[in-house]
Amino acid sequence: MSAFDEFLRSNRGYVQVFDAGDLPAPPSRQVAVVTCMDARLDPEEFLGLGLGEAHVIRNAGGRVSEDTLRSLVISQRLLGTDEVVVIHHTDCGMMSFTNDDLRQKIRSDLGADASGTDFMPFSDLEDSVREDVERVRSSELVPDDVTVRGAVYEVETGGIREVPGR
């Protein structure tokens, strides 16, 4: 049985107890969280978020890419968020390779050319948070009055700690 088949089976049980179909689309806490897709992270749980309270945007490394900015702009302009929290984490796989490493692996495995792709790896965890916070703050698509802060989630303890700006 595939994972998707299991998801379908599980969803049938979820539907039986689901009672939140009337929640409005705008998140009630007016916040968007950008974090990593790492399966060890449960941002709703470690941030104490309930259904409908925040937008959680996840990708490899929790990086603020062009697509992340696209999602943040929609979140702010159309759905009323006015705060952004960027959260990276310890023991992140994005610290284990370089762009060249991954490009070579893609060429070897697939015969494809990924030379124009920035996979956004990083070597310094706190600097990566600062860089992404600054990327949001400096975007002309994000108003100056939007609060943007950054943190590191520690996979070893479950705690988060704020990363001060430069």
Distance of alpha carbon 114 from alpha carbon 107, whole angstroms: 7
Q: What is the pTM of this model?
A: 0.95
Q: For residue 83, what are the β-bridge partners?
A: 31, 147
- Whether residue 139 is contained in a domain is answered as yes
Contact at 8 Å (CB) between 89 and 41? yes
Residue-range definition of the domain harbouring residue 98: 27-162
pLDDT at 75: 98
- Whether residue 102 is contained in a domain is answered as yes
- Whether residue 20 is contained in a domain is answered as no
Count structural domains, the chain.
1
- Whether residue 13 is contained in a domain is answered as no
- Whether residue 11 is contained in a domain is answered as no
Q: Name which of 131, 152, 44 is nearest 88 in CA terms.
A: 152
Q: Where are the alpha helices (DSSP H) in the chain?
A: 3-17, 43-46, 66-79, 99-110, 125-138
| C-alpha dist (Å) from residue 39 to 7, 43, 85, 89 | 16, 10, 19, 12
- Whether residue 21 is contained in a domain is answered as no
Contact at 8 Å (CB) between 152 and 130? no
pLDDT at 4: 97
Render pLDDT for 103-141 as a digit per residue (tens, 0 to 9): 999 999 999 999 999 999 999 999 999 999 999 999 999
Distance of alpha carbon 115 from alpha carbon 118, whole angstroms: 8
- Is the confidence at residue 166, as pLDDT, over 80? no
- Whether residue 136 is contained in a domain is answered as yes
The CATH number of the domain where 94 resides is what? 3.40.1050.10
- Whether residue 104 is contained in a domain is answered as yes
Render pLDDT for 15-69 as a digit per residue (tens, 0 to 9): 999 999 999 999 999 999 999 999 999 999 999 999 999 999 999 999 999 999 9
- Is the confidence at residue 149, as pLDDT, over 80? yes
Spatial neighbors of 150 by CB under 8 A, at least 6 apart, are 85, 86, 87, 88, 129, 130, 132, 133, 162, 163
